[in-house]
Amino acid sequence: MTNVMTYKGYSARIEFDAEDEIFVGRLAGINDGVGFHADNVEELRTAFHESVDDYIETCAKIGKSPEKPYSGKVMFRIDPEVHARAARAAELAGKSLNEWAGEVLAKAAG
């Protein structure tokens, strides 16, 4: 079971608050705190869509660009031997290292 909702390129992780008996969600991947909640799944989906739309509209009203969840640029350090093996695997697959790594990460992320 996945606890993620997606709308207009934004995703939110959903949790159940047993104490208040409600579903709670928060937009993932942005610094602005955008949350929502509801008693059932149908209302939760509506609240999620409304929160995304409201976030985008509010940003426009105040002259701020809405944050996008991710830019697509990833920088990280790995062991040089892993780097070499990945570069070889990409070359043998006839792909750039970026293209190959993107495919591998997409498979791993499900």
What amino acid occupies position 72?
G
Residue 70 pLDDT more than 80? no
Please state the rounded mean pLDDT for residues 69-89.
Answer: 88
Q: What is residue 37's predicted lDDT score, i.e. its pLDDT?
A: 96
Residue 21 pLDDT more than 60? yes
Please state the rounded mean pLDDT for residues 100-105.
Answer: 93
Q: Cβ contacts of residue 50 below 8 Å, gap of 6+?
A: 36
The model's pTM is: 0.65
Q: Cβ contacts of residue 32 below 8 Å, gap of 6+?
A: 55, 67
